[in-house]
């Protein structure tokens, strides 16, 4: 566990039902050209009409066609709109893809070049970027408070993050009511993403006292309330607990990193088109078993907030949770084959993989993936 650490979050984080209502008055004084990036589902809701009415006279443009996997071209479109219209603020309301695309645009609009230049490292992000407010409509990714945005280049199927403090939104508004219309499948996928993030941030090599406390709280909330939120979508109390668990998870992993699940999930998701949270959930048990010998005491700590006592209890209760949420045991039905392994191995060597508590060789990765494939 790290003995020295720096904590970086948005200047303001507002949590609670009705948090989105604070947005219009929270924008900087003088903001007159606001670029609104929103999910298509949100734009059909009464909350969208209320928000756009409150921003009347200050909206530069509204973009609501960000794809489920935010590609470089989608961010380029935002850059072109923002630069040509001299945007002075970016507001994002949607799932993780919307938030990642929008906060990347907020960071890059004042800079030269296009998204690919920063994605491939030809240019470096610098400065503060435009004011950015982020309000998630799902409970899972944590993009509203992190310094990274996960993007994909469809032509090469490379999926990775652009990282810089300029990508941390200035304002995060976590309103659990916005998740009420989230379909059960997406509730499960995003909630499991948050659960895996919390588990990995508790175990990562770079964990610290703050991140571990937050991670443990997140695991507790998500383990005990995600099933209810998925089974009873209108249960606002359960939705609130899951949204808070997602927030704590993001507050944890954004300060210490993740592990092998996320190192492998990005290339697998890019290849197969499987939702990120589901990809992470399928990988969780194999990676937990791989790390067990290095993290016995930590697994016991995780077990306690999930109703168990021993390291094996944590693995078994996690297995029960995944089974209850109908998570498949592998990727064979999604088309994963051994022919995919070289691509996955090549593109898994991220910071997440380097932070895993037990190192994995190329052969170790192949051995882990083999039972999950055709």
pLDDT of the residue at 8: 82
152 DSSP β-pair partners: 71, 159
Q: How far is CA 232 from the centre of its chain?
A: 23
pLDDT tens digits along 58-72:
999 999 999 988 999
- Give dist(CA 225, CA 215) in Å, integer: 15
* pLDDT above 80 for 6: no
DSSP 196-232: HHHHHHHHSTT--HHHHHHHHHHHHHHHHHHHHHHH-
Confidence bin at 93 (pLDDT 50/70/90): very high
Could you give phi then psi for residue 222, rounded to 5 degrees? -70, -40
pLDDT of the residue at 2: 58
Q: How many CB atoms lie within 10 A of CB 143?
A: 29
pLDDT of the residue at 359: 97
pLDDT of the residue at 339: 96
Domain map (residue ranges) of the chain: 12-178, 182-372
Higher pLDDT, 8 or 155: 155
Q: Output the CA–CA distances (angstroms, integers) from residue 341 to 150, 157, 270, 277, 311, in the order listed.
A: 21, 14, 13, 20, 30
Element (H, E) at 15: strand 12-15
Place of tokens 């170790």: 364
Confidence bin at 3 (pLDDT 50/70/90): low
8 SS3 class: coil
1 SS3 class: coil
Q: Region 122-150: what's the mean pLDDT?
A: 95
Q: What is the CATH number of domain 12-178?
A: 3.40.50.1970
Residue burial 227-260, b: 16+ Cβ < 10 Å; e: rest: bebbeebebbebbbbbbbbbbbbbbbbbbbbbbb
Q: Is 0.75 surpassed by the pTM of this model?
A: yes
Element (H, E) at 91: strand 89-94
pLDDT of the residue at 347: 95
Nearest to 274 by CA among 206, 340, 219: 340
Confidence bin at 283 (pLDDT 50/70/90): very high
Nearest to 245 by CA among 297, 184, 196: 196
Place domain 182-372 in its CATH homologous superfamily.
Dehydroquinate synthase-like - alpha domain (1.20.1090.10)
Confidence bin at 5 (pLDDT 50/70/90): confident
Q: Region 328-344: what's the mean pLDDT?
A: 96
* pLDDT above 80 for 1: no
pLDDT tens digits along 174-224:
999 999 988 889 999 999 999 999 999 999 999 999 999 999 999 999 999
Axis crossing angle, helix 362-369 with helix 276-291, rounded to the nearest 10 = 110
DSSP 96-161: HHHHHHHHHHHHHTTSSS-HHHHHTTSS---S--SEEEEEESSSS--TTT-SEEEEEETTTTEEEE
pLDDT of the residue at 206: 95
Contacts (Cβ under 8 Å, ≥6 apart) of 219:
195, 198, 199, 202, 245, 302, 305, 306
Whether the Cβ atoms of residue 207 and residue 256 lie closer than 8 Å to each other: yes
Q: Output the CA–CA distances (angstroms, integers) from residue 96 to 14, 40, 54, 193, 216, in the order listed.
A: 18, 13, 24, 11, 22
pLDDT of the residue at 172: 96
Confidence bin at 7 (pLDDT 50/70/90): confident
Place of tokens 């997602």: 246
Confidence bin at 240 (pLDDT 50/70/90): very high
pLDDT of the residue at 38: 97
Q: Region 305-324: what's the mean pLDDT?
A: 96
Q: How many CB atoms lie within 10 A of CB 6?
A: 6
* pLDDT above 90 for 109: yes
* pLDDT above 90 for 30: no
Q: Region 32-36: what's the mean pLDDT?
A: 97
């Amino acid at each position: 566990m790290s003995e020295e650490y720096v904590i970086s979050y948005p200047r303001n984080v507002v949590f609670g039902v009705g948090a989105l209502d604070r947005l219009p008055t929270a924008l900087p004084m003088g903001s007159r050209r606001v670029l609104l990036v929103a999910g298509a589902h949100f734009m059909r809701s009464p909350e969208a009409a209320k928000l756009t009415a409150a921003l009347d006279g200050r909206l530069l443009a509204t973009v609501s066609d960000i794809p489920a996997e935010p590609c470089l071209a989608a961010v380029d479109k935002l850059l072109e709109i923002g630069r040509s219209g001299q945007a002075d603020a970016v507001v994002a309301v949607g799932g993780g893809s919307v938030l990642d695309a929008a906060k990347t645009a907020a960071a890059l609009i004042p800079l030269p070049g296009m998204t690919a230049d920063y994605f491939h490292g030809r240019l470096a992000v610098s400065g503060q970027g435009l004011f950015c407010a982020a309000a998630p409509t799902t409970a899972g990714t944590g993009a509203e408070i992190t310094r990274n945005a996960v993007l994909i280049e469809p032509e090469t199927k490379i999926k990775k993050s652009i990282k810089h403090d300029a990508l941390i939104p200035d304002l995060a508004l976590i309103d659990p009511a916005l998740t009420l219309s989230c379909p059960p499948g997406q509730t499960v996928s995003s909630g499991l993403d948050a659960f895996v993030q919390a588990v990995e941030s508790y175990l990562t090599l770079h964990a610290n006292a703050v991140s571990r406390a937050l991670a443990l709280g997140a695991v507790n909330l998500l383990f005990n309330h995600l099933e209810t939120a998925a089974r009873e979508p209108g249960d606002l109390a359960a939705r609130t607990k899951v949204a808070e668990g997602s927030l704590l998870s993001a507050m944890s992993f954004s300060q210490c990193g993740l592990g092998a699940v996320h190192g492998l999930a990005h290339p697998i998701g890019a290849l197969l088109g499987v939702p990120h949270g589901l990809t992470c959930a399928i990988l969780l048990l194999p990676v937990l078993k791989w790390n067990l010998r290095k993290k016995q005491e930590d697994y016991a700590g995780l077990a306690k907030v999930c109703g168990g006592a021993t390291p094996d209890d944590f693995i078994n209760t996690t297995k029960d949770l995944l089974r209850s949420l109908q998570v498949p045991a592998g990727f064979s039905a999604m088309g994963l084959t051994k022919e995919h392994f070289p691509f996955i191995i090549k593109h898994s060597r991220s910071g997440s993989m380097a932070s895993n508590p037990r190192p994995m060789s190329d052969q170790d990765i192949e051995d882990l993936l083999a039972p999950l494939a055709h």
